[in-house]
Amino acid sequence: MASDGCRYSGRGPGRGAHRLPARGTADRPALLRRDLPTDRLRRAPAAAPARELDGGKVRWQSEFKVSHRMAPTMAVGRVALAGDAAHIHSPIGGRGMNLGIEDGYVFAACAVDALQGDLSRIADYARLRHAVDAAWVKTSRGLTGFVTDQSAKARFLKRIAPPIAASLPGLINQALKRGLGLDHPTAVR
Ligand SMILES: Cc1cc2nc3c(=O)[nH]c(=O)nc-3n(C[C@H](O)[C@H](O)[C@H](O)COP(=O)(O)OP(=O)(O)OC[C@H]3O[C@@H](n4cnc5c(N)ncnc54)[C@H](O)[C@@H]3O)c2cc1C
């Protein structure tokens, strides 16, 4: 990690394309210059391969801010929220899109009944999904806080936790199930 917050993270899509995440601040977004000078590229990487790269055109860049927010309710009357409109959290764990797809699946099942006259099913959707989505937003906030915590205690825990976790297969299975979203049934009732 370079002092300007740039980090090499490996090949991007396409020939000769590489991914270079940069950490910004609230006041200063981490957008890169359109022409990325070789000296900056070489300063940035922690990974050895990038030291041999030459800078060039930045072909694509985007910016995102990590937030943790959950809508207080996922439906009011006939209006329902799903996906990132209802819940956002850090990408750690990779659950965001998958939770949104689950929202869509459950909403479809509830909407079929609502269209046949049972409007209480829209409230069912809100109840069923809020519980699952809010639980992950809470977990994600905790995980992100831990991963980004630079205190001496957190750094110590981050050093000893992986080998301990690796020796407990039950814990790994649980973590995998949670990360893959297999820790709960996708209930429609
Ligand atoms: C860096 C990063 C990594 C991620 N990795 C993962 C991962 O590994 N696994 C995973 O499951 N999830 C991941 N996610 C989360 C995932 O990308 C999102 O949860 C998902 O894309 C949300 O989908 P969505 O359809 O709810 O919202 P969006 O993808 O935001 O779609 C909303 C769409 O609505 C459009 N729109 C907005 N306003 C209007 C308007 N007024 N009129 C018309 N259209 C409008 C927008 O242009 C957009 O196309 C990641 C997110 C980030 C930022």
Count of CA atoms in the C-beta half-sphere (13 A) of 96: 17
Q: What is the pTM of this model?
A: 0.81
Core vs surface per residue 58-93: b (16+ CB within 10 A) or e: eeeeeeeeeeeebbeebbeeeebbbbeebbbbbebb
Distance 83 CA to ligand 1 centre (A): 8
As given in the structure block, the two tokens for residue 12 are 């991007």
pLDDT tens-digit readout, 161-173: 888 888 888 888 8
Ligand 1 center to 92 CA (angstroms): 15
Question: Rounded to the nearest whole angstrom, what is the distance from the C-alpha of residue 69 to the centroid of ligand 1?
Answer: 14
- For residue 84, the CA-to-ligand 1 centroid distance in Å is 6
- The lowest-confidence range among 18-27, 61-70, 157-166 is 18-27
pLDDT bracket for residue 4 (50, 70, 90): very low
User: Domain boundaries in the chain?
Assistant: 1-65, 69-179
Residue whose CB lies within 8 A of the most ligand 1 atoms, among 92, 95, 97, 107, for a mutation test: 97
What is the rounded CA–CA span in Å between residue 165 and residue 160? Answer: 9
Give the residue, by CA position, lying nearest to ligand 1 atom 29.
84
Fold observed for domain 69-179: FAD/NAD(P)-binding domain (3.50.50)
pLDDT score recorded for residue 180: 85
d(CA 118, CA 136): 29
Q: Could you give the count of Cα atoms lying within 13 Å of 113 in the half-sphere of its Cβ? A: 14
- Over residues 113-163, the pLDDT tens digits come to 999 999 999 999 999 999 999 999 999 999 999 988 989 999 999 999 888
Nearest CA to ligand 1 atom 17: 97
Helix, strand, coil in percent for the chain, rounding step 5: 45, 10, 45
